[in-house]
Amino acid sequence: MHNEFMAFINDDHTAPIVQSWAEKQGFPADTVRGGGPDLFATLLESDSPPKLALVDFDGIDQPTQIAARLVSLCGPATQLVALGTTNDVTLYRGLIAAGFSDYLVKPVTPEILTQTMLTASRGEKGAHGAPKEVKVIVIIGVRGGVGTSTIATNTAWMIAHDLKKKSALLDLDLQFGTSALALDIEPGHGLRDVVSSPQRVDGLMIAGAMVSESTSFSVLSAEESIEDLIHVDASAIAALIKEMRPNYHAIVIDMPRHLIPTQKRILATAHEIVLVTEMSLVGIRDTLRIRTTLKGLGSTARITQVATRIGASRPAAVDEAAFAKGAQAKIDFILPDDHKTMTAANNSGKMLGAMAPTAPLTKAMLELAKMLVSSAEEKAEAPKKGGNILSGLFKHAPKEDSKA
Ligand SMILES: Nc1ncnc2c1ncn2[C@@H]1O[C@H](COP(=O)(O)OP(=O)(O)OP(=O)(O)O)[C@@H](O)[C@H]1O
Ligand SMILES: [Mg+2]
């Protein structure tokens, strides 16, 4: 068995959906097996359990007893999600009482799988008991040099300093990243080891790689040799985010676009993705290409489209309507070009919020930061589309029941 995730699916219609979803998340092909709880129980007798498992209970007599057995065979470190056709509250309660995290009613979609597995992997149970909501925010430039890192660094800083929420910035450009320079802090040592060794990632290792800008803002960045080929392992990033989750309100990831092929898992599970673009034909083309990829991953993230460095001295090459039509996405935020303020900020190693709090660029950036963290509660409450039994079960429940 694989140690991250396994699925045991009984029916020929659901198996290919789960299979294709699992492959897109980067899991090996044999992660999804035919056969249900019986096969899983047999394998558990000789093999260690995965961290997360999806188990099909269709056609199983006494499902709650079998569920309890699986829970005891797996131990507390494994999160188990059940799957079935029956939309029955008694079955649901029995499975949860046995120790399962959630129950999904067929048919499943990639979006539902992503959302449910994400919730389960965080150790949350169904719609209840959600811990403090953390926002994983991925910022990607659809083109190079458009101003992506400026947005990532400044919004992460603003979340900590202006919005008073604990924030961390993870700069995944380990060779050319600019966050440490922009913040006038030392680039840390050790991020390279963290991102390349999934088995070794733990709290101590992360703490060693992290540089604190203040008590509420931490930065993980590097300035590795440009002669090396650096491997950013998807499992290591998942482990890193999992370790960081309990300590932060927001984790802002500055992700170079060339990492998209290897970072599908974090893209599929992030809460927010910000696509930063210039207003040009190539901006349209690459926005469309990246959005199509995200859709294919079954990502449930809210995507915010930002156009930046727009101003009299840098007029847009295409207008908003042409962009919206071509990229099939409207621009949500426009950040003005402000060469003077940016130069002063860069030269002094200060953030916009500290140096020019009233500048229009700073105000627009703060609006973006607010938007990125503000909807945590709304999102936690949003009902899952499709077949999850929880959406039906708790439709009329008081609000607190579907929140923390
Ligand atoms: N709104 C703005 N107005 C004026 N200059 C800006 C603005 N945003 C960013 N810049 C400048 O543009 C340059 C590139 O910015 P940044 O490093 O953020 O881009 P990037 O998209 O992350 O680049 P790369 O693809 O190399 O990672 C920097 O000199 C920065 O100061
Ligand atoms: Mg950058």
Summarize pLDDT for 153-169 with one digit per residue, the tens.
999 999 999 999 999 99
Report whether residue 18 contacts ligand 1, using a CB cutoff of 6 Å: no
Binding site membership of 331 for ligand 1 (Cβ less than 6 Å): no
Residue 261: how many other CB atoms lie within 10 Å: 10
CA distance 93 to 244: 31
Whether 143 and 286 have beta carbons less than 8 Å apart is answered as yes
Q: Which one is predicted more confidently, 7 or 46?
A: 7
In the block, tokens 């992506």 appear at 148
The pLDDT confidence band at residue 232, using thresholds 50, 70 and 90, is: very high
3-state secondary structure of 388: strand
Length of the chain: 404
Ligand 1 within 6 A of 148 CB? Answer: yes
Q: Give the distance (Å) from ligand 2 centre to CA of residue 10.
A: 46
List C-alpha distances in Å: 168 to 37, 218, 252: 40, 5, 6
Assign domain 135-380 to its CATH superfamily.
P-loop containing nucleotide triphosphate hydrolases (3.40.50.300)
Residue 21 in contact with residue 8, Cβ under 8 Å?
A: no
User: What's the pLDDT score for residue 134?
Assistant: 87
Report the half-sphere exposure of 300 (CA within 13 A, side-chain side): 22
218 has pLDDT over 90: yes
Q: How far apart are CA 152 and CA 359, in angstroms?
A: 18
Give the pLDDT confidence of 289-299 residue by residue, as tens digits.
Answer: 999 999 988 88
With a 6 A CB cut-off, is 155 part of the ligand 1 pocket?
no
Is pLDDT larger for residue 394 or for residue 38? 38
SS3 33: strand
| Architecture of the 5-126 domain | 3-Layer(aba) Sandwich (3.40)
- pLDDT band with cut points at 50, 70 and 90 for residue 123: low
CB of 306 sitting under 6 A from ligand 1? no
Q: For residue 18, is pLDDT > 60?
A: yes
Domain ranges of the chain: 5-126, 135-380
Q: 183 or 4: whose pLDDT is higher?
A: 183
Angle at 361 between CA 318 and CA 156, to 5 degrees: 105
CATH fold match for the domains 5-126 and 135-380: yes
Where residue 125 falls among pLDDT bands split at 50, 70, 90? low
CA of 146 to the centre of ligand 2 (A): 8
Of ligand 1's listed atoms, the one at least distance from the Cα of 337 is: 3
